[in-house]
Amino acid sequence: MRYAASMLGSRLGASLLVAACALGAACSPVKRPDGGEGLLQVGASAPDVVAKDADLREVRLSALRGKPVVVYFYPKDGTPGCTKEACAFRDAWARFEKGGVAIIGVSSDSEQKHQEFQREHHLPFALAADESGSVAQSYGVSKKLWGYSRVTFLVDRRGSVAHVWPDVDPGVHADAVLAEAAKLP
């Protein structure tokens, strides 16, 4: 009896994994347009990101050369973890500004949802609406059933990836990123 239950559990687990893969959950590394797989590595050139700040002005990563930039990917506007992460960056904003560090958040939400999220939580940094998924793919960030994986890239003054956080604790992450940015030449 115990063996039969174990086999049933194994089959159920395998079936759920197959179903998750079929629904688009990340089952293998993302193939990037540059031919690589998985997350961009330290030293790689950071692909451009176009976002809108809280005043609806366009912000381009490429136009921010000369200063460090945090590019963080998150699943969805308004969810508990994403709100916690965005508000942690907001609460540390003065320290990021003092350090000359810009921030761009990226999710697959629409520009309108981003605007609502920015207004509701008083977010002073830019958010990129990556509805097509092309920005996430260029960084090698996977998309799961609920949205993008939570991954952060620190881009140095030359436009290269200086640090990657592949798994993030939204509540304390802003401080870790700020500490790493302070180490940049």
122: left (phi over 0), alpha (psi -120 to 50) or beta: left
Residues with catalytic roles: 82
Q: What pTM does this model have?
A: 0.84
Tens-place pLDDT, residues 25-59? 445 789 998 989 999 999 999 999 999 998 899 99
Q: Any idea which of 1-5, 92-96, 129-133 has the lowest mean pLDDT?
A: 1-5
